[in-house]
Structure 1
Amino acid sequence: MKSWAIAWALVLATAQFCSAAGFGIYEWSARGNALGGATVGRADDPSALASNPAGITQLDGLQVLAGFTAIHPVLDIRTNSPAGNEWASSDKDSLWVPPHFYATWKVNDRYTVGLGTFSRFGLGSVFDEDWDGRYNNYEAIIESMSINPNVAVKVTDKLSAAFGVDATYLNFSKKQKINWTGALNPNPAIDGDASLEADGWGYGFNMALHYMPCDYAKIGLSYRSPVTMDVNGKADFSMPSVYEGTLLDNIGAFKDTNAHGTVTLPDSFSFGVAVYPTNKLSIEVGAIYTLWSKYDKLEIKYSDPVIFDRDTMSLKSVSSYDKNWDDVWRFNIGVEYAVLDWLDLRAGYVFDQSPVQDETIDYMVPANDRHLLNGGLGFHWDNWVVDVNYTYLMIMDRDIDARPDDGVYEGEIDNADAHMVGLSVGYKF
């Protein structure tokens, strides 16, 4: 029976997520979204628990902030498969809604504690079951939620430091067709079906620094460790009637079985410099460096040898997919201007590099470099804060080289974009 903590995380993770650069997620608050994530230097609201926890020493009393980001992605892929030159679109009705919740409490002039729950990793790609790339996958979803308590201390009047622990829950599901005949026949009636569901917990830590060298500047540095996820679940196979009574059926191929996998989620460094030319205007530039090279392969181990290997004409108990992703940068800039005592205007821009190599790109993460254009409003009165944002995300077009053994055909990614709307509501007690 799952613990109350798992249940809590599942309640928070009520929807699936859009794929980001790799499958990282940075939509941690509506204000942060509007500023393009340029909040590592500012770090002056409860969502700093996600971007730079050392900054929470700036917050007085008990403060809470909660909200969500609604993400609507659309992706077209053209494949030059034996079935012909065809276009396929990801689910145009999809809507992913990663939530967030933060609470901070200033214990005294030196110590502040905080608890953040937010998603750092996730993806969702859903295609028609009979599309050309179905032998690679037609549905892939990663859901995650991190529970991240932190302690921040004011080392001096200008320097603060923080340390936290990270418990991450991850749920992984993947669906793909099995080409029963061995020939690339487009008729889905002869396809089998494979479904994998697995979940588990992983643990890590984070450290951060926040420095204010003068009244008009702030500098932030944050590090999050890698998290090794051990996930356990079940692999289910549904085969066509022509499979029954065959040799593969008799030797136990494609039988339902338990499955286990280990994935290392990457560590990252975040940096930001915020300047305040006037009392009403702030500008921050920053960067995130993510070590995606730790994601070198995706390996699924089955309790029983059930996967038919056409090369050796035998059954195997391990499916391994090379990833070999690159370490990449994410650059951002955010501007905030206090138009009125109760209204802030915000804008931001992000350039996000893709870690996926040409040699290992597949339909589970069909990504490329991305541009994000962000804008938003902040309303504050009495002890209340309400932030809203809109983001347009554009993924650059990309060619895909053929890897028929992996169910990947020559083609291209086109018209890939997403619309995001965020809302956060905060209160200071």
Structure 2
Amino acid sequence: MQKGWVSFAAAWAIFLGVGPSAVYASGFQLIEQNASGLGNAYAGLAAVADNASTIFYNPAGMSRLPGLNVSGGVTLIKPAFRFSNDGSRGPAGLALGSGTGGDAGSLALLPNTYVSWQVNPDWHVGLGIGAPFGLKTEYDETWIGRYHSTEFGIETVNLNPSVAYRVSDSLSLGAGLNWQYLSADYQRKVPAAGLVQQLPGGMANALAATVLGSPDMDGRVKLKGDAWGWNAGLLYQMTPATRVGLSYRSAMRYDATGTTSLKNLPLGMPARSADASTTVKLPDTAILSVAHDLNKKWQLLADVSWTGWSSLPSLDIDSGSLGQESLKLGFRDTWRVALGANYRHSQKWLFKAGVSYDQTPVPGSGLRPTSLPDSDRIWLSVGVQYKFTEQSTIDIGYAHIFMRKPYIDNNSDAAKGTVTGSYAAAIDMVGVQLSHRF
């Protein structure tokens, strides 16, 4: 039982996303690395290049930013994940109760900061700070799925120094280096019946819960790690009205270490702890974007992106003296498509709208975890930009994400029981971005 807990906890604590928030793009990816693109549902990510946040989406876009540019913003995100039970079963006959966990979504703020500088007519350098992956879910401690998860939170910071070179009036190239830091804190309940069965003269699981009275122990894992990666892109002005952007972000390999702990053991037994480590490869991403100026008033945006989630077929966990175990994930590669439009009302006012469709990497209900109740989703977005001066702008955006009803029938580990049911899920986001050119 202890071996299974360490494997489960270490695995999910590492790979279930990063950032001070919940899941917002497919899987646990966070594309919300600025608020200025929120009003367009992030259509045209790699081609817009209207402020320094292009460093993340396509560093070649810095070639369109003369002088010194600073951009910073924050996105307020509120997901809702409400579980409805449909026949969940406890491990070894343990009673689960009737609690459905409340709203597992957590309100969060996702900040970003960027600076770009034109060194000379052809060269630009820049630095971006953000969090490309993220997840947080939190359930009531007595809910039906408590043996799968009760609380999950991860934070990351990504530093992205970049450079861009203007090859010609129509073509620019860019590249960047990425360093990411990750910390994770994951908690769940562990049935004490399994521990008693491991003791000399232990009794059967079905009786242990009754004898011990309170079967739940408190399991927790805390892990930290860092990783290096790179990104690159090109920006091509096909015609005076049409611009194409292509960018790529590499996969990132994390070596994470930390500890697992088990507290509130029965019969006055002391708490247990062990070292835990794992290596995981987070996915790469490619984006193809188009921005077309239909006329002086209207700009049309389009976007298609691919994420290589199949880099996570399984996670192999080394739990030291507690053994090793492999966790099957079965993730699949995903696609995201987005369309957007901007309307220039006046020199000061620009209005935005967008829609997108985003696939989930989760292959089905049997592998859908309670920590990641993810599904395909549709974005609807609106936004506005106001230009204070020729150098200063503010962007405000709002998006509502409709999620296809996530069904779950997760029985991947008999020691945790089976969670069967569905989620009512949706996400709302509001973002603000300030940009200034010196």
Distance 1:426 1:406 in 2: 52
- For residues 217-260 of structure 1, give each alpha carbon's deviation from its aligned partner in whole angstroms, at most 9, with x where no partner exists: 0000000000001112121210333362xxxx7xxxx7212221
Distance 2:56 2:67 in 1: 19
Q: Which amino acid aligns with 1:227?
A: M
- Aligned match of 2:311: 294
Distance 1:281 1:269 in 2: 27
SS in 2 for 1:340: coil
Q: Which amino acid aligns with 2:118?
A: K
- Aligned match of 2:20: 16
SS in 2 for 1:425: strand
**Is residue 2:403 matched to residue 1:395?**
yes
Report if aligned partners of 2:82, 2:423 keep a CA contact under 8 Å in 1.
yes
TM-score (norm 2): 0.86
Q: Which amino acid aligns with 2:280?
A: V
- Aligned match of 1:34: 39
- Aligned match of 1:108: 120
Distance 1:190 1:291 in 2: 41
Report if aligned partners of 1:78, 1:86 keep a CA contact under 8 Å in 2.
no
Distance 1:395 1:200 in 2: 31
User: For residues 140 and 297 of structure 1, do their structure 2 counterparts lie closer, same or farther at Cα, with a shift above 3 Å needed?
Assistant: farther
- Aligned match of 1:269: 286
Shift of 1:413: 2.8
Distance 2:319 2:392 in 1: 51
| Superposition map of 1:27-426 within 5 A | 27-38=32-43, 39-79=45-85, 80-82=87-89, 83=96, 87-91=100-104, 94-182=106-194, 183=205, 189-242=214-267, 244=269, 255-305=272-322, 317-358=323-364, 359-382=366-389, 383-403=391-411, 405=414, 407=416, 409-426=418-435
Report if aligned partners of 1:28, 1:47 keep a CA contact under 8 Å in 2.
yes
Report if aligned partners of 2:336, 2:359 keep a CA contact under 8 Å in 1.
yes
Q: Which amino acid aligns with 1:230?
A: D
- What root-mean-square deviation, in Å, do the aligned CA atoms of Structure 1 and Structure 2 show? 2.1
Shift of 1:410: 4.7
- Unaligned 5+ residue runs, structure 2? 1-17, 90-95, 195-204
For 1:25, which of 24, 27, 30 is the aligned residue? 30
Q: Which amino acid aligns with 1:260?
A: S
Q: Which amino acid aligns with 1:407?
A: K
- Aligned match of 2:14: none
- For residues 345-369 of structure 1, give each alpha carbon's deviation from its aligned partner in whole angstroms, at most 9, with x where no partner exists: 0111111100012242111211100
Shift of 1:334: 1.4
Distance 1:264 1:428 in 2: 37
- For residues 309-355 of structure 1, give each alpha carbon's deviation from its aligned partner in whole angstroms, at most 9, with x where no partner exists: xxxxxxxx234321120000011111111112111101111111000
Distance 1:413 1:26 in 2: 26
Distance 2:290 2:123 in 1: 23
SS in 1 for 2:235: strand
Distance 2:382 2:61 in 1: 23
Distance 1:230 1:331 in 2: 32
User: For residues 188 and 132 of structure 1, do their structure 2 counterparts lie closer, same or farther at Cα, with a shift above 3 Å needed?
Assistant: farther
- Aligned match of 1:427: 436
Q: Which amino acid aligns with 2:222?
A: E
Higher relative contact order (CA 8 A, sep 6+): 2
SS in 1 for 2:295: coil
- Aligned match of 1:7: none
Distance 1:77 1:189 in 2: 24
Distance 2:415 2:177 in 1: 38
Distance 1:84 1:402 in 2: 18
Shift of 1:402: 4.0
Shift of 1:51: 1.1
Distance 2:263 2:112 in 1: 37
- Unaligned 5+ residue runs, structure 1? 1-13, 306-316
Shift of 1:89: 2.9
User: For residues 15 and 22 of structure 1, do their structure 2 counterparts lie closer, same or farther at Cα, with a shift above 3 Å needed?
Assistant: closer
Distance 1:301 1:176 in 2: 20
Report if aligned partners of 1:111, 1:151 keep a CA contact under 8 Å in 2.
yes
Distance 1:235 1:87 in 2: 26
Shift of 1:291: 0.2
Distance 1:212 1:95 in 2: 40
Report if aligned partners of 2:233, 2:248 keep a CA contact under 8 Å in 1.
yes
Report if aligned partners of 2:114, 2:126 keep a CA contact under 8 Å in 1.
yes
Shift of 1:277: 0.6
